[in-house]
């Protein structure tokens, strides 16, 4: 455990020295430092014992990946998406708004992380989420100075969910957009074609069926 803490401290110092994009030079350092204060869950921890825990307090790096067949889910599960017409819209305080199709997104450099999803009182899933960095998307859209938050929406219609995330968590890739889970395409009930994966956030902040993101100044 001491080695892990030393590594996190070294990483924090390195991030401070290099700085980060999007006007949040300390966000990565703060994230690395926070990792040293978590409760480290031992391998073999029962997922059922985590349903009333705050994911922000836990280091789940030792946990086994939950088989997809055992994943719990809540909220909308039957949204149908036509990939021929579906687009991810990227706007707000950017210089070049984007509209990207599914194949364009999956052709971008990918990010993959094991992230713990807790729906308080109901289930805990520890999955391998693969997708795209929101930070990279905003860079491609030429994000403007002064952005403080990123708002994610989906799907359009009466069941639309809207969640806003601090830019520091986007810059640190704690919040990203996933199109695969456990090396499989995201199933419909889990938000196909695109959903949020958000480290340290409860499941109700993981937006499914994402179709829009905006860079905001608040």
Which pLDDT score is estimated for 35? 56
Instruction: Report the pLDDT averaged over residues 101-105.
Output: 98
Tokens 């993981």 correspond to what residue? 206
Task: Report CA 77 to chain centroid distance, whole Å.
Answer: 19
Q: Write the pLDDT tens digit of every residue in 146-175.
A: 999 999 999 999 999 999 999 999 999 999
Which pLDDT score is estimated for 13? 36
Instruction: Report the pLDDT averaged over residues 128-150.
Output: 98
Helix residue ranges, H only, the chain: 2-18, 27-35, 102-106, 134-140, 167-171
Instruction: Report the pLDDT averaged over residues 167-192.
Output: 98
Instruction: Give the C-alpha separation, 208 to 41, whole Å.
Output: 27
Domains annotated on the chain, with CATH: 65-216 (3.90.420.10)
How many Cβ atoms are within 10 Å of 30's Cβ, its own excluded?
A: 16
Residues with Cβ within 8 Å of residue 161, at least 6 apart in sequence: 75, 76, 153, 154, 207, 208
Q: Write the pLDDT tens digit of every residue in 115-125.
A: 999 999 999 99
Instruction: Give the C-alpha separation, 161 to 158, whole Å.
Output: 9
Which pLDDT score is estimated for 25? 42
CA nearest neighbour of 175 among 191, 183, 163 = 163
**pLDDT confidence band for 17 (50 / 70 / 90):** very low
Lowest mean pLDDT: which of 12-21, 110-119, 157-166, 189-198?
12-21
Strand partners, 22: none
Which pLDDT score is estimated for 37? 82
Task: Report CA 145 to chain centroid distance, whole Å.
Answer: 22
Percent of the chain with pLDDT over 90: 83
pTM for the model = 0.84
Instruction: Report the pLDDT averaged over residues 46-53.
Output: 97
Which pLDDT score is estimated for 19? 37
Cβ proximity of 175 and 197 under 8 Å: yes
Which pLDDT score is estimated for 24? 45
For CA atoms 27, 131, 164, 85, give the dihedral sign. Answer: positive
Instruction: Give the C-alpha separation, 200 to 210, whole Å.
Output: 19
Tokens 């999803």 correspond to what residue? 117
Give the CB-side neighbour count of residue 66, counting CA atoms within 13 A.
Answer: 23
């Amino acid at each position: 455990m001491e080695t892990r803490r030393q590594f996190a401290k070294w990483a924090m110092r390195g991030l401070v020295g290099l700085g980060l994009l999007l006007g949040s030079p300390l966000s990565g350092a703060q994230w690395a430092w926070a990792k040293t204060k978590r409760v480290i869950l031992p391998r073999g921890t029962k997922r059922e014992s985590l349903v009333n825990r705050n994911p922000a307090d836990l280091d789940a790096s030792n946990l086994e990946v939950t088989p997809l067949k055992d994943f719990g889910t809540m909220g909308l599960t039957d949204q149908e998406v036509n990939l021929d017409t579906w687009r991810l819209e990227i706007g707000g305080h950017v210089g070049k708004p984007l509209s990207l199709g599914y194949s364009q997104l999956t052709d971008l450099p990918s990010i993959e992380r094991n992230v713990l999803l807790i729906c308080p009182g109901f289930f805990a899933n520890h999955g391998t989420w693969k997708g795209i960095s929101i930070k990279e998307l905003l860079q491609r859209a030429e994000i403007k100075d002064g952005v403080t938050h990123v708002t994610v929406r989906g799907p359009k219609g009466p069941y639309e969910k809207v969640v806003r995330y601090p830019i520091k968590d986007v810059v640190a890739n704690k919040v990203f957009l996933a199109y695969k889970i456990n090396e499989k395409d995201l199933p419909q009930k889990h938000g196909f074609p695109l959903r949020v994966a958000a480290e340290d956030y409860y499941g109700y902040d993981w937006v499914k069926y994402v179709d829009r993101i905006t860079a905001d100044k608040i």
